[in-house]
């Protein structure tokens, strides 16, 4: 199983903000691939489905971005998803709008 986490901030005031691009991306994936409805799980919203024959869980933490680990960690552990199978989608202010960067690993930034 893969876990695709879309980061953002909860609440209507952030709904269409660039900072919520992670939420928007996983919503688009869910629509395109016919995922299940969103369900509350570990301080987040989760949907399950398949992409290219592989089981995938989408996750939108409902904590603020700097607290997203409180949702992602327990979810990954419960489903025994190793870190290398977790993909995190988030905004990056150092990139121009419309640009994407893919990298392995991470850190504080």
Q: Which two tokens stand for residue 56?
A: 């995938």
Whether 19 is a known active-site residue: answer yes
Alpha carbon distance 33, 57 (integer Å): 12
Alpha carbon distance 78, 73 (integer Å): 9
Work out the end-to-end distance of the chain between its first and last CA atoms, rounded to an integer number of angstroms.
26
Which one from 19, 33, 85, 90 is the annotated catalytic residue? 19
Catalytic residues: 19
């Amino acid at each position: 199983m893969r876990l695709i986490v879309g980061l953002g901030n909860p609440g209507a005031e952030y709904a269409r903000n660039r900072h919520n691009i992670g939420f928007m991306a996983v919503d688009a994936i869910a629509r395109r691939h016919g995922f299940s409805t969103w369900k509350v799980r570990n301080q987040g919203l989760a949907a399950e489905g398949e992409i290219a024959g592989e089981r995938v869980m989408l996750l939108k933490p409902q904590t603020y971005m700097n607290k997203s680990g409180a949702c992602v960690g327990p979810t990954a552990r419960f489903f025994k998803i190793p870190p290398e199978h977790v993909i995190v989608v988030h905004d990056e202010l150092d990139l121009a709008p419309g640009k994407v960067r893919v990298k392995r690993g991470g850190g504080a930034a």
